[in-house]
Structure 1
């Protein structure tokens, strides 16, 4: 994240703590899309995702004066949403509570209605990449999504996934190795493909 973005995040969070509602609104509108897209990959229940995001921002506003200073807002919100979603899913399930490490699914599908559709000239390439991504393990898919689609650094990803930095690097290496084998490409071509796919999807 550029230094100016970190500075902006810091001042925005300070304004929120001071009780300025426009700061809360800015944070909400700046990050809702990322939170929603991340949430629907954890659970297909879109209403649950939306409700959880709303609850998260209500909690932030209610407890604003108790929060510590935050320099990067997005990772904090993703951590909070992930935890809140898992808690709600576990509470509504009749099965025994399971740890975050045992999550079974993480979806890499981009819906036809979303804005994240690759342009027609690159659609086939994007579909091949997404098909390969969906052959990864759930944790590998989540890591790839956070790294290449949300552009978070590995320290932030480790925090979000409640994992060690060493484990995150190992997970990334295994995921990329699998993608190279599935797509029959080199390291450089794979990274280029991931970058190009992100540009097309988020164009």
Structure 2
């Protein structure tokens, strides 16, 4: 467990014991990143803001019933996703269902040559990548966000998105396969989609 996780757990336990300062600390620490994640799930800013406020309100109301959290960040992300999902109209889905299928492509991370790409080339490819990401199915895009921006493990992504761990792996691999295919079609020189995503989402 890293120092950040230990600090989170310290404040989480103090919050569970009714300490308002600890609760405020957790809110200030995570509200922006939760909002950013929520907006990836639904572009209705009012809905996302309400979901975050409702989630923290529920946390405070039920604080004495909460258990210790092995990862506070994971707990909050999963809780927010469920809250947003439940806030949608009955005829609206958070994302399209995904057929887990089989492994599609095992991404190769950047080689040593990646460090030689110029800043201009990185900026150009990042711009193209941004437009391609928005064209991905919503659940694939969300999985990439959780993996490359939030650094969640496949097991954590599976739990957050309510799918199997293999399903999470397949979903990310399918998204990476699509991005790589687009790069090849347009004759672009990607020296590692995973590496570029790390730069794009940092």
TM-score of Structure 1 vs Structure 2, range by shorter chain:
0.7 to 0.9
Highest Rg: 1 or 2?
2
Q: TM-score, normalised by structure 1?
A: 0.79
Paired residues for 1:85-164 under 5 Å? 85-90=84-89, 93=90, 95=91, 102=96, 123-164=123-164
1:17 corresponds to: 16
Paired residues for 1:1-203 under 5 Å? 3-90=2-89, 93=90, 95=91, 102=96, 123-184=123-184, 189-199=192-202
Q: Which runs of 5+ in 1 are unaligned?
A: 105-119
In structure 2, C-alpha distance between the alignment counterparts of 1:4 and 1:44, rounded to whole Å: 33
Q: How far off its partner does 1:78 sit?
A: 1.1
RMSD: 2.3
Q: Which runs of 5+ in 2 are unaligned?
A: 99-118
In structure 1, C-alpha distance between the alignment counterparts of 2:149 and 2:196, rounded to whole Å: 12
Q: TM-score, normalised by structure 2?
A: 0.79
Equivalent pairs, count: 178
Deviations along 1:74-99, one digit per CA (max 9) or x if unpaired, are: 11111111111111113xx5x3x76x
Of 179-188 and 33-42, deviating more is 179-188
Deviations along 1:48-68, one digit per CA (max 9) or x if unpaired, are: 111111111111011000011
